[in-house]
């Protein structure tokens, strides 16, 4: 079954500390993976996708097919990073963008 697991509901860190939001997936093929973010009182929006191999707002995520993981990392957390983060998987079969979302992790960065 296709599934995305985010094991932490809440991750609490201090400003300047490294951050790693965990994401594991279950999918038999080669998936496309994304991180979406929702800041307070804002809409859910794309943060980054693995296919772009980009760094957005200091965040990076590497697809590890061996461990079926797509963890989101940032070396030095900022208070403005506090938000809800969702990992999502797009099954390639069928050709439709039917994202499967994880349950989300709330990141709280304290001063």
Partner 1 sequence: DGGITQSPKYLFRKEGQNVTLSCEQNLNHDAMYWYRQDPGQGLRLIYYSQIVNDFQKGDIAEGYSVSREKKESFPLTVTSAQKNPTAFYLCASTTGAATNEKLFFGSGTQLSVL
Binding residues vs partner 1 (CB under 8 A): 4, 6, 9, 32, 36, 43-46, 49, 51, 86, 90-92, 95-104
Q: Residue 59: beta bridge partners?
A: 56
Q: Which is nearer to partner 1, 62 or 79 (CB)?
A: 62
Find the shortest distance in angstroms from Cβ 42 to partner 1.
9
Strands (E), the chain: 3-5, 10-14, 19-21, 24-26, 32-38, 45-49, 60-61, 72-74, 83-90, 100-101, 105-110
Greatest C-alpha distance within the chain: 46
- CB-side exposure of 109: number of CA atoms within 13 Å? 19
> Residue 95 Cβ, how far from partner 1 at the closest point, in Å?
6
Least CB distance to partner 1 at residue 48 (A):
10
Compare residues 15 and 22 and give the one whose CB is closer to partner 1. Answer: 22
Residue 85 Cβ, how far from partner 1 at the closest point, in Å? 11
The residue (of 13 and 100) whose beta carbon lies closer to partner 1 is 100
């Amino acid at each position: 079954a296709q599934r995305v697991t985010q094991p932490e509901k809440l991750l609490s860190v201090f400003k300047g500390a490294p951050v790693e939001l965990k994401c594991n997936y279950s999918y038999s093929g080669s998936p496309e993976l994304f991180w979406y973010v929702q800041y307070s009182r804002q809409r859910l929006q794309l943060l980054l996708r693995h296919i772009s191999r980009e760094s957005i707002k200091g965040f990076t995520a590497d697809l590890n097919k061996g461990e079926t993981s797509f963890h989101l990392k940032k070396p030095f957390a900022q208070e403005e990073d506090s938000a809800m983060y969702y990992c999502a998987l797009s099954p390639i079969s069928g050709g439709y963008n039917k994202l499967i979302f994880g349950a989300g992790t709330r990141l709280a960065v304290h001063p």
